[in-house]
Amino acid sequence: MVTCKTIIGQISDYLEGNVSAEMRETIERHLRGCRRCSAVYDSTRKMLVIMGDETIFEVPEGYGNRLHSFVDSLVAKAKSSTS
Amino acid sequence: MMSEQTNATSHSLETANLIQRFLAGEQSVFHDLIRPYEQMYYRLAFSILRNEQDAEDAVQQAIVTLFTRLDQLKEPERFKQWSIRVVQNEARLLWRRRRQGQYESIDDREENGNEISFRGPRDFADWRDLPSETVEKREIHAALLKALESIPASYREILLLRDVEQLNVAETMEILGISEATVKTRLHRARLRLREALAPTLGIPQPSFWERWKGMNPWSPARR
Ligand SMILES: [Zn+2]
């Protein structure tokens, strides 16, 4: 008998495909029969999909321009100090 | 797989080449050097500081460090990890200055006792084609930021590196200065914590939710 605690402990590895075939079978059998664990599994999976979508974490408008103007100023300063 | 490997190799060759040119006096190539990572720098700084202006300030400060200390980087192929670590350090420094002594750190004891090791890179590709959910993207974004704020900083960092930026375990180990086993256990705990924090907002059932209704008849008089 495998406990819910064991299954939850394997969720990350299972999601990443880092479990043995035997463990995968055990987890999948448990998930089919346990509403609680399958809810944790589904929502974790959903959460990871959302986080992997980089448009979720947008950088502020003009960030790139400001950063590269700043780099320009560093380059200019370096140039003037060597010449 | 094969092409990914080739891409990674040609990318690090290009980085090495840019660094060489930079050190030879062609400083303007610095623009190209940071371009692939600049968005990551911002997101990482923001995850630590949670303030747009502070995040940009920290990135700029880190850029100064990268620009002036590039000659000290022994292995050019490690530029990515090195530069991310510099950004992280600057952001943490600013965070400490902003909120003296309030930088949370999770107890290391919490992380011991899990010895399963990580194997190989991950492939999230097949997770991306899920049908869009009913919750609007903007709402998801707000919920995610709120949930991220509610968990310890070290959890936030590892989630950002691994699950948002999709860095591999080796890179994450190097950036955070922690062992492979710690990367693994911390990430696992961070995911479960974030999921719990996200659950009420996204309408995800929580274990406690099911526990509460277990064996209870929803139409029983006691509930009315
Ligand atoms: Zn279960």
Together in a domain, B46 and B116: no
Q: Does B25 touch chain A (CB under 8 A)?
A: yes
| Beta carbons of B144 and B199 less than 8 angstroms apart | no
Residue where one domain finishes, among candidates B100, B124, B157: B100
Residue B59: other Cβ atoms inside 10 A = 26
Q: What is the ipTM of this complex?
A: 0.85
The single-letter code of the amino acid at B174 is E
Together in a domain, B117 and B8: no
Residue where one domain finishes, among candidates B41, B71, B100: B100
Least Cα separation, residue A54 to chain B (angstroms): 7
Q: Residue A23: which domain range?
A: 4-82
Q: Of the ranges B44-58, B75-89, B96-110, which one carries the lowest mean pLDDT score?
A: B96-110
For residue B207, give the nearest of A42, A40, A79 by alpha carbon: A40
Together in a domain, B45 and B69: yes
Task: List, for residues A3-54, the tens digit of each pLDDT value.
Answer: 999 999 999 999 988 899 999 999 999 999 998 899 889 889 888 888 887 6
Q: For residue B13, how many C-alpha atoms fall within 13 Å in the half-sphere facing its CB?
A: 6
CA B107 to CA B129: how far, in whole Å? Answer: 37
| Beta carbons of A57 and B164 less than 8 angstroms apart | yes
The confidence score (pLDDT) of residue A22 equals 95
- CATH at residue B171: 1.10.10.10
The confidence score (pLDDT) of residue A74 equals 95
Least Cα separation, residue B118 to chain A (angstroms): 7
- Ligand 1 centroid from CA A12, angstroms: 15
SS3 assignment, position B26: coil
Least Cα separation, residue B149 to chain A (angstroms): 14
Which among B27, B164, B195 has the least Cβ separation from residue A75?
Answer: B27
Structure tokens at B220: 């029983």
CA B162 to CA B166: how far, in whole Å? Answer: 4
Together in a domain, B75 and B126: no
| A14 interaction partners in chain B (CB closer than 8 Å) | none
- For residue B138, pLDDT over 90 is answered with no
- Ligand 1 centroid from CA A32, angstroms: 9
Residue of B nearest to A67 (CA): B60
Q: At what angle do helices B79-98 and B38-49 cross, to 10 degrees?
A: 30
| Beta carbons of A22 and B14 less than 8 angstroms apart | no
Task: Name the residue with tokens 């490997």.
Answer: B5
pTM over 0.90: no
In sequence order, which ranges of chain B are alpha helices (DSSP H)?
Answer: 2-23, 30-34, 38-49, 52-69, 79-98, 137-149, 153-159, 169-176, 180-202, 207-213
- Count of domains in chain B? 2
The confidence score (pLDDT) of residue A83 equals 61
For ligand 1, a single-atom ion, the residues with CB < 5 A are: A 4, 34, 37
- CATH at residue A63: 1.10.10
CA B162 to CA B89: how far, in whole Å? Answer: 18
Together in a domain, B115 and B190: yes
Together in a domain, B220 and B176: yes
Structure tokens at A13: 């590895």
Which among B30, B124, B187 has the least Cβ separation from residue A75?
Answer: B30
Together in a domain, B114 and B224: yes
Together in a domain, B67 and B161: no
Together in a domain, B111 and B222: yes
CA A20 to CA B156: how far, in whole Å? Answer: 29
Together in a domain, B219 and B111: yes
Q: Number of residue pairs across A and B with CB atoms under 8 Å?
A: 119
Together in a domain, B144 and B47: no
- CATH at residue B32: 1.10.1740.10
Residue where one domain finishes, among candidates B43, B69, B100: B100
Q: Does B99 touch chain A (CB under 8 A)?
A: no
Q: Residue B186: which domain range?
A: 105-224
The single-letter code of the amino acid at B122 is R
Q: Are A39 and B39 within 8 A, CB to CB?
A: no
CA B210 to CA B215: how far, in whole Å? Answer: 10
Together in a domain, B56 and B86: yes
- Count of domains in chain A? 1
